[in-house]
Amino acid sequence: MYRCYFALCVMCVGNFVYAAPKEEVYPVVVLGGGIAALTSSLYLGRADLNPVVIEGKNPGGLLTQSHSVQNWPGEMEIEGLLLTEKMREQAEANGVRFLGEEVTKVDFSKRPFVIETRSVEGGSPHKILAHTCIIAMGTEPNFLHIPGETGPNGYWGRGVTNCAICDGNLYRGKSVVVVGGGDAAVLEALYLSNIAKEVTIFVRKDKLKATEQKRVEALLAKPNVKILYNTRLLEIRGNGRNVTSVISKSEKGGSKEMPMDGVFLAIGSQPNSALFSEMLELDAQGYIVLRKGQQTSVDGVYAVGDIVDPVYKQAISAAGDGAKAALQAQQYISDRIDGLVSMQKKEAPPKKIASSIGEVIEIRSMEQFKKEIAESDVLVLVDFYATWCGPCKRVAPVLDSSAQKLQGKVKFLKVNVDKCHGLSENYNIRSMPTALLFDKDGEIMDRKIGLGPILRLLEDLEER
Ligand SMILES: Cc1cc2nc3c(=O)[nH]c(=O)nc-3n(C[C@H](O)[C@H](O)[C@H](O)COP(=O)(O)OP(=O)(O)OC[C@H]3O[C@@H](n4cnc5c(N)ncnc54)[C@H](O)[C@@H]3O)c2cc1C
Protein backbone atom coordinates (compact mmCIF):
# COMPACT_ATOMS: atom_id res chain seq x y z
CA MET A 1 0.00 0.00 0.00
CA TYR A 2 1.32 3.46 -0.88
CA ARG A 3 1.49 5.26 2.46
CA CYS A 4 3.57 7.83 4.29
CA TYR A 5 5.14 6.25 7.35
CA PHE A 6 8.32 8.23 7.94
CA ALA A 7 9.31 11.87 8.15
CA LEU A 8 9.04 12.54 4.46
CA CYS A 9 7.55 9.60 2.73
CA VAL A 10 7.74 5.89 2.17
CA MET A 11 7.45 4.99 -1.46
CA CYS A 12 6.14 1.72 -2.74
CA VAL A 13 8.52 0.22 -5.25
CA GLY A 14 6.74 -2.60 -7.10
CA ASN A 15 6.64 -5.19 -4.33
CA PHE A 16 9.06 -3.23 -2.21
CA VAL A 17 8.96 -0.26 0.14
CA TYR A 18 11.74 2.15 0.98
CA ALA A 19 12.05 5.46 2.70
CA ALA A 20 13.23 8.52 0.74
CA PRO A 21 15.42 10.53 3.12
CA LYS A 22 14.54 14.22 3.51
CA GLU A 23 16.16 16.64 1.04
CA GLU A 24 18.19 13.93 -0.65
CA VAL A 25 19.44 15.14 -4.03
CA TYR A 26 19.56 12.28 -6.50
CA PRO A 27 22.33 12.33 -9.09
CA VAL A 28 19.83 11.31 -11.75
CA VAL A 29 16.09 10.72 -11.83
CA VAL A 30 14.38 9.02 -14.76
CA LEU A 31 10.84 10.20 -15.54
CA GLY A 32 8.80 7.35 -17.09
CA GLY A 33 8.93 3.56 -16.89
CA GLY A 34 8.90 2.25 -20.48
CA ILE A 35 11.61 0.68 -22.61
CA ALA A 36 13.60 3.94 -22.87
CA ALA A 37 13.53 4.52 -19.10
CA LEU A 38 14.37 0.90 -18.31
CA THR A 39 17.41 1.01 -20.58
CA SER A 40 18.64 4.35 -19.22
CA SER A 41 18.24 3.19 -15.65
CA LEU A 42 20.12 -0.06 -16.31
CA TYR A 43 23.13 1.87 -17.60
CA LEU A 44 22.92 4.35 -14.70
CA GLY A 45 22.60 1.55 -12.15
CA ARG A 46 25.63 -0.20 -13.57
CA ALA A 47 27.55 3.09 -13.33
CA ASP A 48 26.68 3.21 -9.61
CA LEU A 49 24.63 6.38 -10.01
CA ASN A 50 21.87 5.09 -7.76
CA PRO A 51 19.07 6.01 -10.21
CA VAL A 52 15.43 6.40 -9.30
CA VAL A 53 12.74 5.70 -11.89
CA ILE A 54 9.36 7.40 -11.52
CA GLU A 55 7.40 4.95 -13.61
CA GLY A 56 3.91 6.51 -13.73
CA LYS A 57 0.65 4.69 -14.31
CA ASN A 58 1.97 2.29 -16.89
CA PRO A 59 5.07 0.38 -15.70
CA GLY A 60 6.79 -1.13 -18.73
CA GLY A 61 5.12 1.43 -21.01
CA LEU A 62 3.40 0.91 -24.33
CA LEU A 63 5.28 -2.22 -25.28
CA THR A 64 3.33 -4.13 -22.62
CA GLN A 65 0.39 -3.82 -25.04
CA SER A 66 2.17 -5.89 -27.68
CA HIS A 67 1.46 -9.63 -27.54
CA SER A 68 4.16 -10.39 -30.02
CA VAL A 69 7.36 -8.39 -30.38
CA GLN A 70 9.34 -9.85 -33.25
CA ASN A 71 11.91 -7.14 -33.89
CA TRP A 72 13.75 -7.10 -30.57
CA PRO A 73 17.30 -8.32 -31.29
CA GLY A 74 18.06 -11.69 -29.74
CA GLU A 75 14.40 -12.71 -29.37
CA MET A 76 12.60 -14.43 -32.26
CA GLU A 77 9.32 -13.53 -30.60
CA ILE A 78 8.53 -12.28 -27.12
CA GLU A 79 5.51 -10.80 -25.37
CA GLY A 80 6.02 -7.09 -24.68
CA LEU A 81 5.01 -7.53 -21.05
CA LEU A 82 7.55 -10.32 -20.55
CA LEU A 83 10.30 -8.31 -22.22
CA THR A 84 9.71 -5.25 -20.05
CA GLU A 85 9.46 -7.40 -16.91
CA LYS A 86 12.82 -8.97 -17.74
CA MET A 87 14.32 -5.51 -18.29
CA ARG A 88 12.86 -4.23 -15.01
CA GLU A 89 14.26 -7.25 -13.15
CA GLN A 90 17.68 -6.65 -14.69
CA ALA A 91 17.55 -2.96 -13.72
CA GLU A 92 16.53 -3.83 -10.14
CA ALA A 93 19.39 -6.31 -9.92
CA ASN A 94 21.70 -3.43 -10.84
CA GLY A 95 20.49 -1.18 -8.06
CA VAL A 96 17.70 0.75 -9.80
CA ARG A 97 14.77 1.80 -7.60
CA PHE A 98 11.26 2.18 -9.01
CA LEU A 99 8.58 4.50 -7.68
CA GLY A 100 4.89 3.83 -8.33
CA GLU A 101 4.39 7.59 -8.69
CA GLU A 102 3.63 10.05 -11.45
CA VAL A 103 5.31 13.34 -12.18
CA THR A 104 2.93 16.29 -11.77
CA LYS A 105 5.28 19.27 -12.15
CA VAL A 106 8.94 20.04 -12.84
CA ASP A 107 11.14 23.04 -12.28
CA PHE A 108 14.27 22.98 -14.41
CA SER A 109 14.98 26.68 -13.78
CA LYS A 110 16.55 25.87 -10.38
CA ARG A 111 19.53 23.69 -9.50
CA PRO A 112 19.11 21.03 -8.29
CA PHE A 113 16.03 20.37 -10.43
CA VAL A 114 12.73 19.97 -8.60
CA ILE A 115 10.36 17.19 -9.59
CA GLU A 116 6.92 17.04 -7.99
CA THR A 117 5.32 13.62 -7.88
CA ARG A 118 2.34 11.93 -6.31
CA SER A 119 1.29 8.35 -5.90
CA VAL A 120 -0.42 6.91 -9.00
CA GLU A 121 -3.65 6.51 -7.07
CA GLY A 122 -3.71 10.18 -6.00
CA GLY A 123 -2.80 11.75 -2.69
CA SER A 124 -0.75 14.81 -1.93
CA PRO A 125 2.33 15.63 -4.00
CA HIS A 126 5.91 15.67 -2.71
CA LYS A 127 9.20 16.87 -4.14
CA ILE A 128 12.25 15.02 -5.39
CA LEU A 129 15.50 16.87 -6.08
CA ALA A 130 17.84 15.81 -8.87
CA HIS A 131 21.09 16.99 -10.44
CA THR A 132 20.15 15.52 -13.81
CA CYS A 133 16.91 14.20 -15.33
CA ILE A 134 16.13 11.81 -18.14
CA ILE A 135 12.61 12.25 -19.53
CA ALA A 136 11.12 9.05 -20.96
CA MET A 137 7.38 9.65 -20.66
CA GLY A 138 6.38 8.39 -24.12
CA THR A 139 3.10 9.22 -25.81
CA GLU A 140 -0.62 9.04 -25.02
CA PRO A 141 -3.08 7.44 -27.45
CA ASN A 142 -5.58 9.72 -29.24
CA PHE A 143 -9.35 9.59 -28.89
CA LEU A 144 -12.05 10.25 -31.47
CA HIS A 145 -14.17 12.45 -29.15
CA ILE A 146 -17.41 10.95 -30.40
CA PRO A 147 -20.60 10.12 -28.44
CA GLY A 148 -20.38 6.91 -26.46
CA GLU A 149 -16.55 6.88 -26.30
CA THR A 150 -15.53 8.41 -22.94
CA GLY A 151 -17.17 10.49 -20.21
CA PRO A 152 -20.05 9.54 -17.92
CA ASN A 153 -22.18 8.13 -20.77
CA GLY A 154 -19.26 6.61 -22.61
CA TYR A 155 -18.23 2.97 -22.78
CA TRP A 156 -14.51 3.44 -22.12
CA GLY A 157 -13.44 0.35 -20.16
CA ARG A 158 -16.84 -1.25 -20.85
CA GLY A 159 -16.42 -2.12 -24.49
CA VAL A 160 -14.23 0.71 -25.79
CA THR A 161 -10.50 0.25 -25.35
CA ASN A 162 -7.18 0.93 -27.03
CA CYS A 163 -5.43 -2.26 -26.05
CA ALA A 164 -6.20 -5.59 -27.69
CA ILE A 165 -3.58 -7.41 -25.67
CA CYS A 166 -5.16 -6.11 -22.44
CA ASP A 167 -8.83 -6.65 -23.23
CA GLY A 168 -8.98 -8.79 -26.40
CA ASN A 169 -9.69 -12.04 -24.57
CA LEU A 170 -12.94 -10.60 -23.25
CA TYR A 171 -14.28 -10.57 -26.81
CA ARG A 172 -13.87 -14.27 -27.56
CA GLY A 173 -16.41 -15.24 -30.24
CA LYS A 174 -17.75 -11.67 -30.47
CA SER A 175 -17.79 -8.91 -33.08
CA VAL A 176 -15.32 -6.06 -32.73
CA VAL A 177 -14.28 -3.03 -34.71
CA VAL A 178 -10.75 -1.64 -34.94
CA VAL A 179 -10.51 2.05 -35.86
CA GLY A 180 -7.36 3.15 -37.70
CA GLY A 181 -5.20 2.29 -40.67
CA GLY A 182 -1.61 2.33 -39.37
CA ASP A 183 0.72 -0.32 -37.94
CA ALA A 184 -1.00 -0.31 -34.55
CA ALA A 185 -4.41 -0.93 -36.16
CA VAL A 186 -3.04 -3.84 -38.20
CA LEU A 187 -1.41 -5.37 -35.14
CA GLU A 188 -4.52 -4.98 -32.97
CA ALA A 189 -6.74 -6.44 -35.71
CA LEU A 190 -4.40 -9.40 -36.25
CA TYR A 191 -4.40 -10.19 -32.57
CA LEU A 192 -8.18 -9.90 -32.32
CA SER A 193 -8.74 -12.03 -35.43
CA ASN A 194 -7.50 -15.06 -33.46
CA ILE A 195 -10.03 -14.44 -30.71
CA ALA A 196 -13.10 -12.61 -31.98
CA LYS A 197 -15.73 -13.99 -34.33
CA GLU A 198 -15.48 -11.00 -36.67
CA VAL A 199 -13.10 -8.08 -36.90
CA THR A 200 -14.13 -5.04 -38.93
CA ILE A 201 -11.57 -2.31 -39.56
CA PHE A 202 -12.69 1.26 -40.23
CA VAL A 203 -10.03 3.02 -42.29
CA ARG A 204 -10.61 6.76 -42.83
CA LYS A 205 -8.58 6.86 -46.07
CA ASP A 206 -8.78 4.64 -49.14
CA LYS A 207 -5.81 2.48 -48.11
CA LEU A 208 -3.90 1.21 -45.08
CA LYS A 209 -0.85 3.28 -44.16
CA ALA A 210 0.81 0.46 -42.23
CA THR A 211 4.48 -0.10 -43.07
CA GLU A 212 4.86 -3.70 -41.86
CA GLN A 213 3.95 -5.41 -45.17
CA LYS A 214 4.19 -8.94 -43.78
CA ARG A 215 1.61 -8.12 -41.14
CA VAL A 216 -0.69 -6.48 -43.70
CA GLU A 217 -0.53 -9.58 -45.88
CA ALA A 218 -1.29 -11.80 -42.89
CA LEU A 219 -4.26 -9.60 -42.03
CA LEU A 220 -5.69 -9.60 -45.55
CA ALA A 221 -5.54 -13.40 -45.55
CA LYS A 222 -7.76 -13.70 -42.46
CA PRO A 223 -11.28 -14.92 -43.34
CA ASN A 224 -12.92 -13.18 -40.36
CA VAL A 225 -11.44 -9.73 -41.07
CA LYS A 226 -13.31 -7.14 -43.10
CA ILE A 227 -11.77 -3.77 -44.01
CA LEU A 228 -14.09 -0.82 -44.71
CA TYR A 229 -12.16 2.00 -46.39
CA ASN A 230 -13.27 5.66 -46.44
CA THR A 231 -15.26 4.91 -43.31
CA ARG A 232 -15.48 6.88 -40.05
CA LEU A 233 -16.83 5.87 -36.67
CA LEU A 234 -19.50 8.41 -35.68
CA GLU A 235 -21.01 7.02 -32.49
CA ILE A 236 -20.78 4.11 -30.07
CA ARG A 237 -24.05 2.84 -28.65
CA GLY A 238 -24.84 0.49 -25.81
CA ASN A 239 -27.39 -0.68 -23.28
CA GLY A 240 -25.85 1.14 -20.31
CA ARG A 241 -23.67 -1.89 -19.47
CA ASN A 242 -22.00 -2.89 -22.74
CA VAL A 243 -21.41 -1.69 -26.26
CA THR A 244 -24.12 -3.09 -28.53
CA SER A 245 -23.60 -1.25 -31.82
CA VAL A 246 -21.65 1.42 -33.68
CA ILE A 247 -22.75 4.05 -36.18
CA SER A 248 -20.39 4.44 -39.09
CA LYS A 249 -20.35 6.75 -42.08
CA SER A 250 -18.83 5.84 -45.39
CA GLU A 251 -18.11 8.27 -48.19
CA LYS A 252 -20.44 6.48 -50.59
CA GLY A 253 -22.98 4.61 -48.47
CA GLY A 254 -23.98 7.24 -45.87
CA SER A 255 -24.31 6.27 -42.22
CA LYS A 256 -25.38 2.91 -40.85
CA GLU A 257 -25.67 1.07 -37.55
CA MET A 258 -23.76 -2.20 -37.12
CA PRO A 259 -24.18 -4.57 -34.14
CA MET A 260 -20.82 -4.63 -32.28
CA ASP A 261 -19.52 -5.87 -28.92
CA GLY A 262 -16.22 -4.00 -28.71
CA VAL A 263 -14.41 -0.99 -30.16
CA PHE A 264 -10.60 -0.90 -30.33
CA LEU A 265 -9.09 2.51 -31.03
CA ALA A 266 -5.76 2.54 -32.87
CA ILE A 267 -5.60 6.14 -34.05
CA GLY A 268 -2.21 7.48 -33.09
CA SER A 269 -0.83 9.32 -30.12
CA GLN A 270 0.41 12.59 -28.56
CA PRO A 271 3.71 13.09 -26.73
CA ASN A 272 3.30 13.33 -22.94
CA SER A 273 5.15 16.63 -22.87
CA ALA A 274 2.59 19.17 -21.59
CA LEU A 275 4.40 19.28 -18.23
CA PHE A 276 7.53 20.56 -19.95
CA SER A 277 6.01 23.24 -22.20
CA GLU A 278 7.26 26.10 -19.99
CA MET A 279 10.64 24.52 -19.31
CA LEU A 280 11.89 22.91 -22.51
CA GLU A 281 11.78 23.60 -26.22
CA LEU A 282 9.06 21.52 -27.91
CA ASP A 283 8.27 21.25 -31.62
CA ALA A 284 4.88 22.10 -33.17
CA GLN A 285 3.51 18.62 -32.39
CA GLY A 286 4.75 18.73 -28.80
CA TYR A 287 7.80 16.47 -29.20
CA ILE A 288 10.80 17.51 -27.08
CA VAL A 289 13.48 19.11 -29.24
CA LEU A 290 17.01 17.73 -28.84
CA ARG A 291 20.23 19.69 -29.10
CA LYS A 292 23.23 17.41 -28.86
CA GLY A 293 22.60 13.67 -28.62
CA GLN A 294 19.74 13.33 -26.14
CA GLN A 295 20.39 16.73 -24.53
CA THR A 296 17.31 19.01 -24.42
CA SER A 297 17.28 22.81 -24.39
CA VAL A 298 18.28 22.68 -20.69
CA ASP A 299 21.74 21.47 -19.70
CA GLY A 300 21.54 18.30 -17.63
CA VAL A 301 18.04 17.39 -18.85
CA TYR A 302 17.87 14.58 -21.41
CA ALA A 303 14.89 13.14 -23.28
CA VAL A 304 14.50 9.71 -24.84
CA GLY A 305 12.14 7.37 -26.70
CA ASP A 306 8.76 8.17 -28.24
CA ILE A 307 8.51 11.58 -26.55
CA VAL A 308 11.31 12.83 -28.85
CA ASP A 309 10.47 10.69 -31.86
CA PRO A 310 7.62 11.66 -34.21
CA VAL A 311 8.83 9.20 -36.83
CA TYR A 312 10.13 5.80 -35.77
CA LYS A 313 8.51 5.03 -32.41
CA GLN A 314 10.20 1.67 -32.00
CA ALA A 315 11.22 -0.19 -28.87
CA ILE A 316 14.80 -0.58 -30.04
CA SER A 317 15.19 3.11 -30.94
CA ALA A 318 13.73 4.09 -27.55
CA ALA A 319 16.23 1.74 -25.87
CA GLY A 320 19.09 3.19 -27.94
CA ASP A 321 18.11 6.71 -26.88
CA GLY A 322 18.00 5.49 -23.27
CA ALA A 323 21.55 4.15 -23.40
CA LYS A 324 22.88 7.35 -25.01
CA ALA A 325 21.17 9.64 -22.48
CA ALA A 326 22.51 7.59 -19.56
CA LEU A 327 26.06 7.93 -20.89
CA GLN A 328 25.59 11.67 -21.45
CA ALA A 329 24.16 12.13 -17.93
CA GLN A 330 27.07 10.14 -16.51
CA GLN A 331 29.52 12.41 -18.30
CA TYR A 332 27.65 15.54 -17.13
CA ILE A 333 27.75 14.35 -13.52
CA SER A 334 31.41 13.49 -13.61
CA ASP A 335 32.29 16.82 -15.32
CA ARG A 336 30.18 19.18 -13.20
CA ILE A 337 28.54 17.59 -10.22
CA ASP A 338 31.15 15.25 -8.73
CA GLY A 339 32.80 16.92 -5.82
CA LEU A 340 29.64 18.89 -5.03
CA VAL A 341 27.74 15.75 -4.35
CA SER A 342 28.73 12.92 -2.16
CA MET A 343 27.02 10.08 -3.91
CA GLN A 344 24.49 8.40 -1.72
CA LYS A 345 25.44 5.02 -0.49
CA LYS A 346 23.21 2.33 -1.78
CA GLU A 347 20.42 1.70 0.65
CA ALA A 348 19.96 -1.62 2.35
CA PRO A 349 18.10 -4.08 0.16
CA PRO A 350 14.46 -3.08 0.11
CA LYS A 351 12.11 -4.90 2.37
CA LYS A 352 9.42 -7.10 0.91
CA ILE A 353 5.86 -6.33 1.83
CA ALA A 354 4.62 -9.23 3.90
CA SER A 355 2.49 -11.44 1.74
CA SER A 356 0.26 -14.24 2.75
CA ILE A 357 -0.29 -16.49 -0.22
CA GLY A 358 -3.31 -18.69 0.34
CA GLU A 359 -5.54 -16.13 2.00
CA VAL A 360 -6.86 -14.88 -1.30
CA ILE A 361 -8.99 -17.75 -2.53
CA GLU A 362 -8.58 -18.64 -6.21
CA ILE A 363 -11.99 -19.35 -7.73
CA ARG A 364 -12.11 -22.26 -10.15
CA SER A 365 -15.83 -22.64 -10.90
CA MET A 366 -19.15 -20.84 -10.75
CA GLU A 367 -20.33 -23.28 -8.05
CA GLN A 368 -17.33 -22.56 -5.83
CA PHE A 369 -17.87 -18.82 -6.33
CA LYS A 370 -21.58 -19.00 -5.40
CA LYS A 371 -20.71 -21.10 -2.32
CA GLU A 372 -18.03 -18.67 -1.13
CA ILE A 373 -20.41 -15.70 -1.50
CA ALA A 374 -23.40 -17.50 0.06
CA GLU A 375 -21.43 -18.81 3.04
CA SER A 376 -19.73 -15.52 3.86
CA ASP A 377 -20.95 -13.50 6.82
CA VAL A 378 -18.44 -10.71 6.04
CA LEU A 379 -17.84 -8.45 3.02
CA VAL A 380 -16.35 -10.24 0.01
CA LEU A 381 -13.88 -8.58 -2.34
CA VAL A 382 -13.49 -10.27 -5.72
CA ASP A 383 -10.50 -9.41 -7.91
CA PHE A 384 -11.03 -10.22 -11.62
CA TYR A 385 -7.58 -10.53 -13.16
CA ALA A 386 -5.68 -11.98 -16.09
CA THR A 387 -2.14 -13.31 -16.32
CA TRP A 388 -1.42 -11.05 -19.31
CA CYS A 389 -2.53 -7.85 -17.56
CA GLY A 390 0.33 -5.69 -16.19
CA PRO A 391 -1.68 -3.64 -13.64
CA CYS A 392 -3.22 -6.90 -12.29
CA LYS A 393 0.30 -7.95 -11.27
CA ARG A 394 0.59 -4.79 -9.20
CA VAL A 395 -2.76 -5.41 -7.51
CA ALA A 396 -1.88 -8.99 -6.51
CA PRO A 397 0.70 -8.36 -3.73
CA VAL A 398 -1.41 -5.57 -2.22
CA LEU A 399 -4.41 -7.90 -2.25
CA ASP A 400 -2.39 -10.57 -0.41
CA SER A 401 -1.30 -8.06 2.17
CA SER A 402 -4.85 -6.68 2.66
CA ALA A 403 -6.23 -10.21 2.96
CA GLN A 404 -3.85 -10.86 5.82
CA LYS A 405 -4.64 -7.59 7.59
CA LEU A 406 -8.40 -7.90 7.16
CA GLN A 407 -8.67 -11.55 8.17
CA GLY A 408 -12.12 -12.18 9.66
CA LYS A 409 -13.43 -8.84 8.34
CA VAL A 410 -13.29 -9.23 4.57
CA LYS A 411 -13.08 -12.37 2.49
CA PHE A 412 -10.86 -12.11 -0.62
CA LEU A 413 -11.48 -14.06 -3.83
CA LYS A 414 -9.67 -13.85 -7.15
CA VAL A 415 -10.99 -14.89 -10.53
CA ASN A 416 -8.81 -15.54 -13.58
CA VAL A 417 -11.10 -14.27 -16.36
CA ASP A 418 -9.57 -16.62 -18.92
CA LYS A 419 -10.35 -19.65 -16.79
CA CYS A 420 -13.76 -18.53 -15.47
CA HIS A 421 -15.19 -16.95 -18.59
CA GLY A 422 -18.83 -17.48 -17.57
CA LEU A 423 -18.28 -15.72 -14.27
CA SER A 424 -16.70 -12.65 -15.83
CA GLU A 425 -19.52 -12.53 -18.41
CA ASN A 426 -22.10 -12.79 -15.59
CA TYR A 427 -20.62 -9.76 -13.89
CA ASN A 428 -20.00 -7.87 -17.13
CA ILE A 429 -16.24 -7.60 -16.61
CA ARG A 430 -14.99 -5.53 -19.56
CA SER A 431 -11.69 -4.15 -18.33
CA MET A 432 -8.80 -5.48 -16.31
CA PRO A 433 -8.31 -5.41 -13.36
CA THR A 434 -11.84 -5.05 -11.96
CA ALA A 435 -12.78 -5.56 -8.30
CA LEU A 436 -16.30 -6.15 -7.01
CA LEU A 437 -17.24 -5.73 -3.36
CA PHE A 438 -20.17 -7.81 -2.14
CA ASP A 439 -22.08 -7.10 1.07
CA LYS A 440 -22.96 -9.77 3.63
CA ASP A 441 -26.14 -10.59 1.69
CA GLY A 442 -24.21 -11.26 -1.51
CA GLU A 443 -25.29 -8.00 -3.21
CA ILE A 444 -22.71 -5.93 -5.15
CA MET A 445 -22.01 -2.75 -3.18
CA ASP A 446 -19.04 -1.39 -5.15
CA ARG A 447 -17.26 -1.87 -8.49
CA LYS A 448 -13.79 -0.52 -9.12
CA ILE A 449 -11.95 -0.63 -12.44
CA GLY A 450 -8.18 -0.11 -12.76
CA LEU A 451 -5.16 -0.17 -10.49
CA GLY A 452 -5.63 3.18 -8.70
CA PRO A 453 -9.33 2.82 -7.77
CA ILE A 454 -8.76 -0.79 -6.57
CA LEU A 455 -5.80 0.20 -4.38
CA ARG A 456 -7.88 3.06 -2.94
CA LEU A 457 -10.74 0.67 -2.17
CA LEU A 458 -8.35 -1.68 -0.34
CA GLU A 459 -6.95 1.25 1.60
CA ASP A 460 -10.49 2.38 2.56
CA LEU A 461 -11.35 -1.13 3.74
CA GLU A 462 -8.25 -1.25 5.92
CA GLU A 463 -9.08 2.12 7.44
CA ARG A 464 -12.71 1.29 8.26
C1 LIG B 1 0.16 -2.12 -29.52
C2 LIG B 1 1.60 -1.72 -29.74
C3 LIG B 1 2.52 -2.63 -30.23
C4 LIG B 1 3.85 -2.28 -30.42
N5 LIG B 1 4.72 -3.21 -30.92
C6 LIG B 1 6.00 -2.90 -31.13
C7 LIG B 1 6.90 -3.88 -31.66
O8 LIG B 1 6.53 -5.00 -31.95
N9 LIG B 1 8.19 -3.49 -31.82
C10 LIG B 1 8.63 -2.23 -31.53
O11 LIG B 1 9.82 -1.97 -31.71
N12 LIG B 1 7.79 -1.30 -31.03
C13 LIG B 1 6.50 -1.59 -30.82
N14 LIG B 1 5.63 -0.65 -30.33
C15 LIG B 1 6.14 0.70 -30.05
C16 LIG B 1 6.84 0.71 -28.69
O17 LIG B 1 5.97 0.17 -27.72
C18 LIG B 1 7.23 2.13 -28.32
O19 LIG B 1 8.02 2.67 -29.31
C20 LIG B 1 7.99 2.14 -27.00
O21 LIG B 1 7.20 1.57 -25.99
C22 LIG B 1 8.39 3.56 -26.60
O23 LIG B 1 9.02 3.49 -25.37
P24 LIG B 1 9.11 4.75 -24.41
O25 LIG B 1 9.85 4.27 -23.21
O26 LIG B 1 9.63 5.92 -25.15
O27 LIG B 1 7.62 5.15 -24.03
P28 LIG B 1 6.42 4.31 -23.42
O29 LIG B 1 6.58 2.86 -23.66
O30 LIG B 1 5.19 4.96 -23.95
O31 LIG B 1 6.54 4.57 -21.86
C32 LIG B 1 6.16 5.79 -21.30
C33 LIG B 1 6.30 5.67 -19.80
O34 LIG B 1 6.12 6.97 -19.23
C35 LIG B 1 5.32 6.85 -18.08
N36 LIG B 1 4.68 8.15 -17.84
C37 LIG B 1 3.81 8.83 -18.60
N38 LIG B 1 3.42 9.95 -17.98
C39 LIG B 1 4.09 9.98 -16.79
C40 LIG B 1 4.12 10.87 -15.69
N41 LIG B 1 3.40 12.00 -15.66
N42 LIG B 1 4.91 10.56 -14.65
C43 LIG B 1 5.67 9.44 -14.65
N44 LIG B 1 5.68 8.56 -15.67
C45 LIG B 1 4.90 8.83 -16.71
C46 LIG B 1 4.35 5.72 -18.40
O47 LIG B 1 3.83 5.16 -17.20
C48 LIG B 1 5.27 4.76 -19.14
O49 LIG B 1 5.91 3.92 -18.22
C50 LIG B 1 4.29 -0.97 -30.13
C51 LIG B 1 3.38 -0.04 -29.62
C52 LIG B 1 2.04 -0.40 -29.43
C53 LIG B 1 1.06 0.59 -28.88
Determine the Cα–Cα distance for residues 248 and 225; give it in Å rounded to an integer. 17
Q: How far is ligand 1, taken at its centre, from the CA of residue 63, in Å?
A: 5
Q: How far is ligand 1, taken at its centre, from the CA of residue 136, in Å?
A: 9
- Clarify whether 166 is annotated catalytic: yes
Helix (H) or strand (E) holding 411: strand 410-416
Q: How far is ligand 1, taken at its centre, from the CA of residue 64, in Å?
A: 8
Return the ligand 1 atom nearest residue 305 CA: 26
First vs last C-alpha separation in the chain: 15
Which of 57, 62, 128 has most ligand 1 atoms within 8 Å of CB, for mutation? 62
pLDDT in tens, the chain (464 residues): 323 322 333 343 333 333 344 467 899 999 999 999 999 999 999 999 989 999 999 999 988 877 778 889 999 989 889 999 999 999 999 999 999 899 999 999 989 999 999 988 777 788 999 999 999 999 988 899 999 998 888 998 788 988 887 678 889 999 999 999 998 899 999 999 999 999 999 999 999 988 888 999 999 999 999 999 999 999 999 999 999 999 999 988 889 999 999 999 999 889 999 999 999 999 999 999 999 999 999 999 999 999 999 878 889 999 999 999 999 999 999 887 665 554 444 444 443 333 334 579 999 888 899 999 998 989 999 999 887 777 888 888 899 889 988 888 899 999 988 888 888 888 988 878 899 999 988 999 999 988 888 998 999 998 88
For 32, residues 6+ apart whose C-beta sits below 8 A from its C-beta are 53, 54, 55, 56, 61, 135, 136, 137, 138, 272, 305, 307
Please tell us whether the domain made up of 360-463 is placed in CATH 3.40.30.10.
Answer: yes
Classified by CATH at the fold level, domain 143-265 comes out as: FAD/NAD(P)-binding domain (3.50.50)
DSSP 338: B
For residue 304, the SS3 value is coil
Q: How far is ligand 1, taken at its centre, from the CA of residue 306, in Å?
A: 7
Q: How far is ligand 1, taken at its centre, from the CA of residue 242, in Å?
A: 28
Determine the Cα–Cα distance for residues 98 and 85; give it in Å rounded to an integer. 13
pTM of the model: 0.67
The residue from 9, 12, 133, 163 that is catalytic is 163
Determine the Cα–Cα distance for residues 9 and 3; give it in Å rounded to an integer. 7
* Phi-psi map region of 442: left, alpha, beta (phi>0 left; psi -120 to 50 alpha): left
Q: List the domain boundaries for the chain.
A: 11-140+269-336, 143-265, 360-463
Q: Which amino acid is at 191?
A: Y
Whether 31 is in the pocket of ligand 1, judged by its Cβ within 6 Å, is yes
Domain 11-140+269-336 shares a fold with domain 143-265? yes
Return the ligand 1 atom nearest residue 58 CA: 47
How many Cα atoms occupy the beta-carbon half-sphere of 237 within 13 Å?
A: 11
CATH superfamily membership of 11-140+269-336 = FAD/NAD(P)-binding domain (3.50.50.60)
The residue from 9, 12, 133, 167 that is catalytic is 167
Return the ligand 1 atom nearest residue 275 CA: 41
- Clarify whether 418 is annotated catalytic: no
